[in-house]
Amino acid sequence: MKINGHEIKPGVNLSGCDLSNQELDYCNLQGANLENANLKGCSLKGTNLRYCKLQGADLSNSNLEEADLTGCNLKYANLTNCNLVKSRMFNIEVYQTVFNGSSIVTETEEVNTLHQEIEDLKKYKKFYEEFKNKMP
């Protein structure tokens, strides 16, 4: 896939490129260099951005719903007014990163699993207390 003459693929160097207002839904850009890239108003729904270099990138007004940002460097990035609902943001690097007005709602399996483990522990504790009280 090419946009503005740039090949869109994993590991690509798009540092400083203007990709504003492009539709990049469900693309695989894992490990891409997007430092200082202009991604204003882009649709990146479900896009694989794992381990991308996004420092200084402008992603303002972009749709990153369900995008995977695991391991990304977002230092100095602008994510003003972004849709980050259900995006994955594990082990990201942030420093002076702007999230003003962004929707950040994550629902992860880890949270659901942790909640279930807590409920299981409560049941076990109740069972143990009842068992302990029956002992002579």
Query: What is the per-residue pLDDT across 2-36, written as a single tens digit (0 to 9) for each?
Result: 776 667 889 999 999 999 999 999 999 999 999 99
Domain ranges for the chain, please list them: 1-105, 108-136
Q: pTM for the whole thing?
A: 0.74
Q: Which residues have a Cβ under 8 Å from the Cβ of 71 and sit 6 or more positions away? A: 50, 51, 90, 91, 92
pLDDT digits (tens, 9 = 90+) for 84-121: 888 888 888 888 888 887 877 765 544 555 556 666 67
User: Regarding the domain delimited by 1-105, which CATH topology (the fold level of the hierarchy) does it fall under?
Assistant: Pectate Lyase C-like (2.160.20)
Residue 58 confidence (pLDDT) above 70 = yes
What is the rounded (10 degree) CA torsion for 96, 36, 106, 122? Answer: -50
